[in-house]
């Protein structure tokens, strides 16, 4: 059992994590959020980590926002509390803060904590050198504010790295004219095209499409419920320690 503070604890993801992790034997001591959580799961509600006693918290889980991650990183570094981050849309400033925190304490950061999503990224890297072209489609609920998703970017980077390691050239887009701007989506690393879909009713979904003359391969992962992320967060909590170090991506924890 680990005593946890969940930052972003009033949000849909924070509530799902509190319910799921409490069900796995963790003690939720604090839900940190500007808003009042719908359910507390035995925890107290606080507006900031500073309002919690550091000795009562053995790990922090942050699924809030880039700004929230900055505050969590500083607090965890100051009090040597391990940190697990699932917030997306992080820029260079937040990544630098996480790297600084990781020099003081263990940090795990991942764009997606679904075990299936981590496996799709791994399988995509295996397949990438064997096909001429690869494109990524990510589909999320209509309240997601950043695009493309961190999961899609991580997958595209894994594909690009695998192709480069195999000596495959960067992919060039055969489209020479767009009758509607951005119809081909965004150009990711090494020419991997990324397409973002936002629709009500979705949770988190990803397709990786491979093509070569005469054949294709599609990898797809679907999160139908936010409880799908609980197992990955539990795995990260089991692996992260007070010893300094940064782990990026859930895939590193699957070995």
pLDDT (0 to 100) of residue 255: 75
- 135 with 216, same domain: the answer is yes
Active site amino acids: 140, 144
Q: Assign residue 8 the CATH number of its domain.
A: 3.40.50.720
- 216 with 183, same domain: the answer is yes
Domain that holds residue 127: 115-223
- 122 with 181, same domain: the answer is yes
- 68 with 93, same domain: the answer is yes
> Residues near 200 by Cβ (< 8 Å), separated by ≥ 6?
141, 142
> Residues near 55 by Cβ (< 8 Å), separated by ≥ 6?
none
- 151 with 195, same domain: the answer is yes
Residue 210 vs residues 19, 152, 171, 249, 250: alpha-carbon distances, Å: 37, 14, 12, 22, 23
pLDDT (0 to 100) of residue 242: 83
- 91 with 216, same domain: the answer is no
pLDDT (0 to 100) of residue 111: 86
pLDDT (0 to 100) of residue 156: 97
Q: Is the peptide bond before 148 cis (omega within 30 degrees of 0)?
A: yes
Domain count, the chain: 2
- Prediction pTM value: 0.85
Q: Assign residue 150 the CATH number of its domain.
A: 3.30.360.10
Q: Measured at the alpha carbon of residue 20, what is the angle toward residues 33 and 70, in degrees to the nearest 5?
A: 35
- 78 with 41, same domain: the answer is yes
pLDDT (0 to 100) of residue 141: 95
- 70 with 124, same domain: the answer is no
Tens digits of pLDDT across the chain (255 residues): 799 999 999 999 999 999 999 999 999 999 999 999 999 999 999 999 999 998 999 999 999 999 999 999 999 999 999 999 999 888 999 999 999 999 999 999 998 999 999 999 999 999 999 999 999 999 999 999 889 998 999 999 999 999 999 999 989 888 999 999 999 999 999 999 999 999 999 999 999 999 999 999 999 999 999 999 999 999 999 999 889 999 998 988 987
- 70 with 134, same domain: the answer is no
- 88 with 132, same domain: the answer is no
Are 109 and 247 a contacting pair, CB within 8 Å? yes
Are 7 and 63 a contacting pair, CB within 8 Å? yes
- 96 with 147, same domain: the answer is no
- 121 with 247, same domain: the answer is no
């Amino acid at each position: 059992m680990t005593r946890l503070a969940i930052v972003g604890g009033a949000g849909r993801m924070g509530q799902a994590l509190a319910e799921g992790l409490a069900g796995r034997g963790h003690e939720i001591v604090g839900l940190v959020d500007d808003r009042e959580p719908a359910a507390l799961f035995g925890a107290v509600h606080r507006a900031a980590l500073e309002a919690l006693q550091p000795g009562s918290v053995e790990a922090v889980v942050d699924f809030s926002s880039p700004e929230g991650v900055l505050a969590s990183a500083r607090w965890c570094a100051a009090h040597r509390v391990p940190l697990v981050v699932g917030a997306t849309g992080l820029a260079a400033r937040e990544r630098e803060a996480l790297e600084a925190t990781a020099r003081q304490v263990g940090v795990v950061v991942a764009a997606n904590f679904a075990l299936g999503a981590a496996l799709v990224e791994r399988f995509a890297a295996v397949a990438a050198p064997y096909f001429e072209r690869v494109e990524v489609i990510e589909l999320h609920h209509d309240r997601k504010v950043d695009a493309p998703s961190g999961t899609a970017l991580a997958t595209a980077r894994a594909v690009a790295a695998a192709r480069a390691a195999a000596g495959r050239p960067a992919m060039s887009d055969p489209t020479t004219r767009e009758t509607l701007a951005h119809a081909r989506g965004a150009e990711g690393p090494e020419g991997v095209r990324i397409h973002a879909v936002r629709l009500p009713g979705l949770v988190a979904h990803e397709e990786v499409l491979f093509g070569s003359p005469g054949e294709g391969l599609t990898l797809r992962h679907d999160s139908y419920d936010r409880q799908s992320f609980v197992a990955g967060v539990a795995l990260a909590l089991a692996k992260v320690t007070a010893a300094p170090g940064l782990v990026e991506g859930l895939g590193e924890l699957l070995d």
